[in-house]
Amino acid sequence: MNIRRKLPPLAALTAFEAAARVRSFTKAAAELGVTQAAVSRQIHLMEETLGFPLFRRLHRSIELTDKGQVLSTAATSAFNLMADTIAELTREEDEGALSISATLAISHFWLMPKIASFSRLYPDSRLRIVSQDSAAGLGGSDFAIRYGNGAWPDGRAEYLFDDELFPVCSPEYAAKLGSAPTLEDIARQPLISYDSQNPSWIGWEEWLAAFSIKLAKAPSGLRTSFYTEAVYAALSGQGIALGWKRLLQNLLDTRSLIRLTEQSIVTRDGYFLIVPPRSANNTKALQFIEWLKTEAAD
C-alpha cells in the first residue's frame, strides 16, 4: 500500500507542524522562512484534504481543535524521530567530533568566540556547533546549551551562569540621547524587540515593569524573529535593545554597544549545559565539560 496516498502534501504537513508547535502562523512562517500567507494557504489546503478543521481562528490567536491536537502530537513525534535519526547518521559519518546544540544567540555571541581557546588546549578534539532558532534539543548531539530552570528529563544539567539585562544601543544612538537618559526617556525611544519561544526570556514589558514603568500600548521600534537580529538592529542604530550581558560582553568591551543605564535586572533562570547519559563518561566529552565550565566561571 502506498503510504503517500494517505498523507497530506509534505509542505502542508510541515507548515501545520510548525504552526501547531508555536501556536502562531506568523512565528511558523518566520521559522520556515516563508510568508504568513503561505503558511495559512498550506494549512487551508491540508484542512480541505482531510475534511475537517485543524485550528480555531480566534481574534488575535489560534488554537488547535481536538483532532488538530491529536495530529499535532503525531506530526511532531514523527518529525523529531526523523531529525534524531538524521542527526545520528550524520554523527556516525563525523565520528570523533563533539557536537553541541545551542540557540542562535548563545552559539553566535557566546560560544563561537571561545572555540579557539578549546582548540588550542585540545588540538586533537573537533567540535561541531548545531545552531537552532528555538530551545536547543539534543537529537544526536553530545551536548546542548539551554536557558531555563535546569529541570530537563533528557540529561544532567550542569549550571553555567545566570545573566543581567539592561538597555543597549550603538554609540551613535547613545550620543543622540545625551548623557544619563532616564528610564522614562528610554521608554519613549524605538525599542527593538524580538519573538521568543522560551517563556523564560525577558522582554521590554517585563523589564520596564520591574521599575514601575509601563510600556506603551503600541510601542515604536523594530520587531525581529530572533535575538541575534535585534542585536544587529541595535548595532546599526535602529533603536534600543535589551542587552543580555553574558551574551554581549565582547560587544560591550569593544564599545560596539553602549550600556545606557546602571539599572538592570538579574534573570530568574540561567544557562545550563545538558549532558546526556551517553556523554557522561566519554574522555573528550569530559574535557569539553571542564573547559566550558571554566569559561562560564571566567
Report domain extents, the chain.
Answer: 3-86, 94-162+269-297, 164-266
Q: Decide if 94-162+269-297 and 164-266 have a common fold.
A: yes
Strands 62-64 and 55-57: antiparallel
What class does CATH assign to 3-86? mainly alpha
Residue 101 and residue 89: Cα distance in Å, rounded? 16
CA distance 83 to 101: 13
Listed range (18-32, 85-99, 136-150, 169-183) with the worst mean pLDDT = 85-99
Cell numbers given for 153? 528529563
What does the pLDDT read at residue 93? 45
What's the mean pLDDT in 199-213?
Answer: 89
End-to-end CA distance of the chain: 59
Beta strands in the chain (DSSP E): 55-57, 62-64, 97-103, 126-132, 143-148, 156-161, 164-169, 193-194, 223-224, 241-244, 258-259, 265-266, 270-275
Kindly state which CATH superfamily the domain 164-266 is placed in: Periplasmic binding protein-like II (3.40.190.10)
Q: Please, what is the angle between helix 245-253 and helix 227-235, to 10°? A: 20
**For residues 170 and 180, which has the higher predicted lDDT (pLDDT)?**
170
Answer whether 0.75 is exceeded by the pTM. Answer: no
Q: Among 67, 53, 55, which residue's Cα sits nearest to residue 18?
A: 55
| Best CATH choice for the domain 94-162+269-297 from the list 3.30.1490.20, 3.30.450.20, 3.40.50.150, 3.40.190.10 | 3.40.190.10
| Residue type present at position 270 | G
Q: Is the pLDDT at 29 greater than 70, yes or no? A: yes
Express each pLDDT in 34-44 by its tens digit: 888 989 999 99
